[in-house]
A = this chain, B = another copy of it.
Amino acid sequence: MKVIGIVGLGTMGVPMAKSLLRAGFEIVVSGRKSEVVAQLVEMGAGSAVSPADLARQCEAVLTMLPADKAVIDVVTGPDGIANGGKPGLVVIDSSTVSPSTSKRMAEELAKHEIEFLDAPVTGSEPQAVDAKLTFIVGGKKQIYERCKPLFEAMGKGSFYMGSHGAGTYTKLSNNTISAITLIAFVEGIVMAAKGGVDPERFIEVISQGGARSGQIANKGPKILQRDFHPNFATALMYKDLGLAAEIAQEMNLPVPALAIAREMLKIAIAKGYGRQDVCSVIKCYEEWAQVEVSK
């Protein structure tokens, strides 16, 4: 695979495109933001007038889009990838969408003899810029193997999880765990702080035992320093929890902690923290407890 198309030139798509260029791939881009397209063309990218036109020129197309509807439009719309791609084309969707959308895209594209991988990523803008994303992939194993050089160009690793949808199931379950684990930390540290325990000392002590977590390691210092710059915005996590809640609904699986975490993020968004880091949810609890968790 040499010529790669990229649809979705946002916060993530642009640095991913640059990583592919740096690794020596030829890329073709298409998007509404002409200045972003122009910048990439100046760096050597080709351009296309529509996803169909782009697909016609490529061996693989990477999509990095904000929501299910955008993916469905780009793949199956009148000017979509399905209507331009040659048989044998591989579509790699790194958007976070529902597994049912992933499965449906795989089926639609199969009608055109086009291959599909759901390949959502963990990591956000800084990891995209540093080519340190992790890809979590569902689809046919041999297609995954063929695309590995692309994942390596944009990230630090990739994991093959199983058939179509397995990547998105893993991603959404992962984010469900992250969000609830964050709420766990927030409820505990606000309670301790209100009880008079020094928050920094609290984090130091609990990080040595069974209560430790990636959320405490990542968000603890941000909270103590009152740094709510979004590494991962509240509104984005809220969106992912909505997708996770939908799949639990399809499974008839009660997920009370997921539901609570989602409602807490909704409260945070209602209070104006949607574009701040997801750890800004602690400010809701701090207001209720009338205590601040800081250094």
Contact = CB atoms under 8 A, between A and B. Distances in A.
Contacts of A173: 188-189, 191-192, 195, 197, 202, 206
Main secondary structure, interface of A, reads helix
B206 A210 contact: no
Interface of A: 99, 122, 134, 136, 159, 161-163, 165-166, 169-170, 172-181, 183-185, 187-192, 194-198, 201-202, 204-206, 208-216, 218, 244, 247-248, 251-258, 260-261, 263-264, 285, 288-289
A88 to B, nearest CB: 26
Contacts of A181: 180-181, 184-185, 211, 213
A234 to B, nearest CB: 15
Given A196-B162, A198-B162, A180 B187 contact: yes
Contacts of A213: 177, 181, 212-215
16 contacts: A136-B205, A159-B204, A161-B201, A161-B202, A162-B197, A169-B195, A169-B196, A170-B192, A173-B206, A177-B188, A180-B180, A181-B213, A212-B213, A213-B215, A252-B288, A257-B264
Contacts of A99: 195
In the complex, the 6 A-B pairs of residues with the closest C-beta atoms, listed nearest first: A169-B195, A180-B184, A177-B188, A213-B213, A173-B192, A177-B211
A119 B169 CA distance: 43
* Copies of chain A in the complex: 2
A208 B170 CA distance: 13
B205 A253 contact: no
A184 B191 contact: no
Given A181-B181, A257-B257, A191 B174 contact: no
B256 A205 contact: no
Q: Identify which of A166, A181, A189, A251 gathers the most chain B CB atoms within 10 Å of its CB.
A: A181
A164 B255 CA distance: 38
